[in-house]
A and B are shown apart, each in its own frame.
Chain A
Amino acid sequence: MPIKTVLTTTINRVSILDEHGHFDAELGNGLIPDADLVRLYEHMCSCRQLDEVAFKLQRSGRMGTYPQNMGQEAASLGAAYVLNRDDWLVTCYRENCGLFWRGVPVESILLHWMGDERGNAMSREHFATPIAVPIGTQMLHATGLAWASKYRGEKRIACTFFGDGATSEGDFHEAMNFAANLDIPVVFCCQNNGWAISVPGKIQCSAPTVAQRATAYGMDTIQCDGNDLFAVVYCFRRAVEIARSTGRPSFIEAVTYRLGDHTTADDARRYRDQAEVDAWRGRDPIIRIRKHLVEKSLWSDAKEQELLARVEREVAAAVERAETIPAPPRTDFFDSMYAEIPPDLLLQRTTMQTHGIGQDPSQIDGAVIELPAKSNH
């Protein structure tokens, strides 16, 4: 036969708790214990509260540009829930919920977007890399982090998150190609929220799924309803099992939607229809879990009121902590540049000047050079 088929492939999509509240008991029962489900729900509500507060802070001039996570809480939360606490979590900027599950303080995220590097000073014990701003670049770091585990014979894996826009960047392809060909245990999770700022998903990927891109690299791949926490948890359990038992990477496309603007500097009304946004509001990951909890008699209006009051208090307290932390000293940006500050940089730090005379008072008669107080940072 001169022409024969050498590959046919299928992409499976997982949906367990759909937008209408239908629950697939076969896949869903026992997937998340009731007590955990309540806690996961509370985390999503907390994350949503932060988004609403952060938006108002930005609008009232108390915070800079902020990217809301609204509508995308489930994917990173499901991942963080399934992963071990010492598996690497390598995120971009719509994974707050997963980072909070890991224990990253809310005020760290606030500080970051308030223009303070100290928001990135995550504790090593979180096994999380700082929020990656360039698109897709962090994926390669995840591959390297997991490679190090393999090198050391550890069981620790890495999980990385990125958006549909990132799938157009070279780094996306390089990260997956390295992981697949060098047998590195990474879970790649694309939060396909349909929009890269104003550019619709079809400009990034004209194939019917993003998930099938992973097939080209020879790795296992699956698509899920990214607004369905159960489906996300199911897919991550599967992916983590692949990584730990075979050392291979795999791919999850979590289909979701950015309910808010790209950031507070964006106005999505310029480029997308309100009808589309409204339709996705009905698929909100938080609403369906709440309904499910109510149906299982795990939740009530009273508990809801209590929770909302609590997250309001907690986020307000985090805002207060972030806003009342003393500003960093002026010299702060010199102090983490190198393990040991080079002499010339120390001179710049000491004088806060870059011109030769200003940095060397002895060159000018009668000059009064005020040296800033040395910081203890």
Chain B
Amino acid sequence: MSALPLDAAANTDLDAGRPGRPGRPGRRLPYFLRRPGGVFGATWLAFVVLASLTAPWWVPYGVAEQDLSNRLALPSADHWLGTDPLGRDLLSRIFSAGAEPLLAAGITVLVAFGIGLTMALIAAERGPRVERVSSRLAEVLLALPSTILLLAVIGAIGVRIFIVMAVLGVMISAGVYRVMLGVAKSVRQRLYVDAARVNGLSSLRVNLVHVLPSMGTVVAVQAAQLYGIGLLIVAGLAFLGFGPAEPQPSWGFMIQDASSYVFSNPWLLVPTGVVLALTVVAANELADAIASRGSVARTTVRRRRSPARVGATGSADPRPADPGAVLDVRDLHISVDDGPALVTGVSFALQPGRVLGLVGESGCGKTMTARSLMGLLPDGVSVSGGSIRWQGRELVGVSEKDLSAVRGRDIAMISQEPMVALDPMFSVAYQLTQPIRRFRGVGRGEARQIAAQLLRQVGIVDGERVLKSYPHQLSGGMAQRVCIALALTGEPRLLIADEPTTALDVTVQAEILSLLRALVRDTGLSVVIVSHDLGVVADICDDVAVMYAGTVVEDGTAAAVLDEPAHPYTQALLAANPHVADGEPVPTRLASIDGTVPPPGEWPTGCRFASRCLFAQEQCTQRFPSVPAHGSGSVLCTRVEELSRADVTWMSAPTTGPAGHETAPATAQPAPTVGVSR
């Protein structure tokens, strides 16, 4: 009976209730029957239920039929599972005893869900006031020792097992309520539920048609687990003597009986115990298999510690090595292990004290490129070719230990979401002083002074208060300043900033950008900034590399690339940019780029932008090299000279322009996405 409700596995998968991906055609089995645990669970449960309910018609002996000459027998042809101390057939008794616990546990589940699920739906519907009352009630019920309360029920009304198990269902309903309330609340927040309500569906119908079905998985998982718990409790009560009276068999009492013979006849323990245990294991395995939906990807969280798959390879880049660069990335390839490439042939170099922007739409490999610079690619993704040289040292293929020595000390990173980038369990002071002590080898007191000074450097006035705070007490802009201070603890030479302002308010964005600019000016830091916002790039970057579908299509100084964009994609991005220079008229509509970035693995040969490009021609589907442009930069477009001679640009092209989409014909393509805008 130790396995009481609210097992962790039940709580791990609140997401499992989301409507699953559509099953692949040609597979008729439900997903949970494709896992061995699910197959075993469903098969064994079906077998036990069927065998127990039909027992009167097939068991070889009556439950009270004694064979006194054959007592405590081991399995034989006559008695497949042996006999008990009175010579009764164990097989017959086990399956004759099955119906009661199997039904009684079912009653517990029904009652528990009847109350718990209904209450959860009502509380989710009626809002916080009802919820507060019912949640308090549930908390009280959960805190009661339910097994002992069941004894009180038995003392009062006798061994009426179905009623007793229904009472257990009432007590367990508190646990069901708690889990289901969480799920119901998250389901109700989904848009289509709101839409249904706005459309005037009655609350009962909203619940029945929209909310309940998407809770199905969680309900099934919980029900299967509760069923197992119910079985254990029925058997446990019977073990204590609160079960059917002899000679009627019960699983629990048969085990109690066996315990008296454990010295002389241990076999007696085996058949009943194994059937009971297997049945409960089956219920739990079924629950796990059902819960596995949506969590498949999480089965391999293992952190890959082996060095990247491929060491540095010879550069295919035609440009000579840049001796002055702190960071020199050459022909970088990143791919999913045993899967498609995510980034191919990316090269760029960064001079000390300069800011490089990586720009492009979502899904172009900007973040992957940035993370590869520190060896922090997600599990299952690795650098598959090329080289990353940091101050002349190769970073591709080196050990995790060597990378650790670079991280924080030489290269630091600030992330997109400052609110979750800090550890919620530790104070700001701890999170800053800990790396300060490690990097600078100072004591606790001095580390705290340095931390306060760093906070001043990132523009925090009341540093002492912030040091004492926990992350949840900070605002987004404040948290990002703390993150920047954290990144500065190791006095790095390079800062990688992945969309550092995206999650922040517009006014705060400007403050953070000017802070970064001041840091570059004051400390000579180099920065790689990842952004989809050309405004940010124009604001802060010295150099820019425009990425499209995993490769750099144009790079050069920010001034050159933004003023005279050569690649049609860069031109399109600029045309779609809502930032308007002073003195120019605000366009009535912004141009958008038809179509979407092709996903990795579906990139065409030749130009990857061709399918969306206004100027695409036959020659664009062939392979071609990049050509030098913007001084030290390059452009990856085979028609670039042709277009430049003809002086056509994206803005002046016939089918688009400032008012392009008013005339653009409706096509079968997916809805146009605004490429670069906020």
Q: Do A and B come from one complex?
A: no
